[in-house]
């Protein structure tokens, strides 16, 4: 997905006498840790997690994906990390913490997928990336010394991610497991030429992200959202006329309902979970 050319930090040498030395700083050791939570930015939760990480691996690159996941909304986090992680270099460690069950028996887990590492609670936040390599994080030598029952982002996931970024193999974190929890993202239902989809998310601009793909729409289609018919597919937001609702293949690869320089969600009054009906006319009709 990304070009893999990497920047090796340049070093200049001034050799004295004999002595020609080539030095390579392995820039791939500038590890990246991303953070995706429902913690918000008004409290110090995220800053505290970063402090813990930097105490373990001082030169890591820390990147916030978002901390505005709706409180306790596991599926929203699962969807966001799925559509995001692939834009980071392989080897990145992703912390995903939406954790209403913190302090209960729910397990902390680590997973490996497509060369990326993930840590989070075993409650479905990693649903979309869990393939088959997952581990129950049990080795508390990688935790903070005191583990609370209310903030495992700080006490478990941040330090574990720091250690993984430092080079600790995920296999050292605990035993491999196969019974991890997966909540599949809702899939569209097809009945003949009719498809029923759902709204996965509304973005900041009011674009309504559906779980439909371009191929679901065929050559001609009518999408019905909140009773309103949408029949136009645009290639870009600005291709549409002002005030006209249209469909567009969004940047996540899903079909979005949009309004040129306006909020489709406000106009349609839909939110996540709303139903979307599509009637398609196949090309050979």
Q: Considering the rule CB under 8 A, would residue 257 count as an interface residue with a second copy?
A: no
Query: Exposure of 87 by Cβ count < 10 A (0-12 exposed, 13-18 middle, 19+ buried)?
Result: exposed
Q: Shortest distance, CB of residue 190 to a second copy, whole angstroms?
A: 25
Letter string b/e over residues 27-53, b meaning 16 or more CB atoms within 10 A of that residue's CB: eeeebbbbbbbbbeeeeebbeebbebb
Instruction: Name which of 135 and 163 has its Cβ closer to a second copy.
Output: 163
User: Can you tell me the distance from the alpha carbon of 68 to that of 70, in angstroms, rounded to the nearest whole number?
Assistant: 6
Q: Which stretch binds a second copy (CB under 8 A): 125-133, 140-148, 185-193, 277-285?
A: 140-148
Out of 97, 115, 156, 238, the residue judged to bind a second copy by CB under 8 A: 238
- Map residue 276 onto helix, strand or coil: strand
Q: Which stretch binds a second copy (CB under 8 A): 1-9, 126-134, 189-197, 221-229?
A: 1-9
Instruction: Look up tokens 């567009």; give the residue.
Output: 248
Which of the residues 170 through 229 are near a second copy (CB under 8 A)?
203-205
Contact criterion met (CB below 8 Å) for 247 and 230: yes
Q: Considering the rule CB under 8 A, would residue 241 count as an interface residue with a second copy?
A: no
Q: Considering the rule CB under 8 A, would residue 242 count as an interface residue with a second copy?
A: no
How many chain residues touch a second copy (CB under 8 A)?
103
Q: Considering the rule CB under 8 A, would residue 126 count as an interface residue with a second copy?
A: no
Out of 84, 139, 140, 267, the residue judged to bind a second copy by CB under 8 A: 84
Question: Rounded to whole angstroms, what are the CA distances from 7 to 21, 25, 168, 277?
Answer: 20, 10, 24, 47
């Amino acid at each position: 997905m990304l070009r893999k050319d990497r920047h090796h930090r340049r070093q200049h040498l001034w050799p004295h006498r004999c002595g020609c030395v080539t030095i390579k700083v392995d820039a791939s050791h500038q590890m990246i840790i991303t953070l995706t939570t429902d913690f918000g930015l008004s409290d110090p939760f995220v800053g505290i997690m970063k402090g813990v990480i930097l105490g373990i691996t001082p030169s890591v690159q820390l990147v916030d994906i978002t901390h505005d996941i709706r409180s306790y909304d596991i599926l929203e986090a699962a969807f966001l990390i799925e559509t995001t992680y692939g834009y980071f270099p392989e080897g990145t460690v992703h912390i995903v913490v939406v954790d209403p069950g913190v302090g209960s028996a729910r397990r902390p887990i680590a997973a490996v997928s497509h060369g990326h590492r993930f840590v989070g609670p075993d409650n479905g936040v990693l649903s979309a990336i869990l393939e088959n390599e997952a581990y129950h994080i049990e080795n508390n030598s990688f935790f903070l010394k005191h583990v609370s029952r209310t903030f495992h982002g700080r006490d478990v996931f941040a330090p574990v991610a720091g250690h993984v970024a430092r080079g600790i193999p995920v296999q050292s974190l605990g035993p491999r497991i196969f019974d991890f929890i997966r909540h599949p993202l809702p899939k569209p239902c097809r009945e003949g030429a009719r498809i029923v989809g759902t709204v996965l998310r509304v973005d900041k601009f009011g674009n309504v992200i559906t779980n439909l793909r371009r191929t679901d729409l065929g050559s001609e289609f009518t999408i019905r959202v909140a009773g309103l018919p949408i029949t136009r597919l645009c290639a870009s937001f600005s291709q549409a006329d002002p005030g006209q609702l249209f469909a567009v293949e969004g940047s996540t690869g899903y079909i979005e309902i949009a309004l040129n320089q306006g909020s489709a969600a406000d106009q349609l009054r839909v939110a996540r979970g709303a139903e979307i009906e599509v009637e398609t006319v196949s090309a050979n009709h």
